[in-house]
């Protein structure tokens, strides 16, 4: 029996890079310029997507890259929480 859903990396290969960039840019702009909870929620949605992407690509990234990605994710979550509170 074949699985009905494709795996994460296979789905990533089908994503339009321009569309993904524009969605991420939109979330960042809304997150930085929208007041309070709305902006923080947009940044947390972006952080959730980045965490999912980090989980899928963890084995393929060298340790230095992992550290940089974790620091970036931590900074994004910190900014989101600062906007909310």
Residue for token pair 């970036």: 72
pTM over 0.75: yes
Does a structural domain hold residue 20? no
Alpha helices in 1-85 (DSSP H): 8-13, 17-33, 36-57, 63-84
Total domains in the chain come to 1
**Does residue 48 lie within any of the structural domains?**
yes
Residue 78 inside a domain? The answer is yes
Tokens at residue 1, please? 């029996």
11 within domain boundaries: no
With bands split at pLDDT 50, 70 and 90, how would you rate the model's confidence at 8? low
Give the model confidence (pLDDT) of 18-45 as tens digits: 999 999 999 999 999 999 999 999 999 9
pLDDT for position 85: 93
Domain that holds residue 55: 35-85
How many whole angstroms separate alpha carbon 18 and alpha carbon 28?
15
């Amino acid at each position: 029996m074949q699985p009905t859903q494709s795996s994460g990396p296979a789905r990533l290969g089908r994503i339009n890079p321009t569309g993904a960039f524009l969605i991420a840019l939109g979330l960042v702009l809304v997150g930085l310029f929208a007041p309070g909870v709305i902006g923080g929620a947009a940044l947390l949605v972006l952080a959730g997507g980045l965490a999912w992407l980090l989980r899928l690509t963890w084995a393929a990234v060298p340790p230095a890259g992992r550290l940089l990605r974790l620091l970036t994710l931590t900074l994004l979550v910190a900014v989101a929480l600062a906007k909310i509170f």
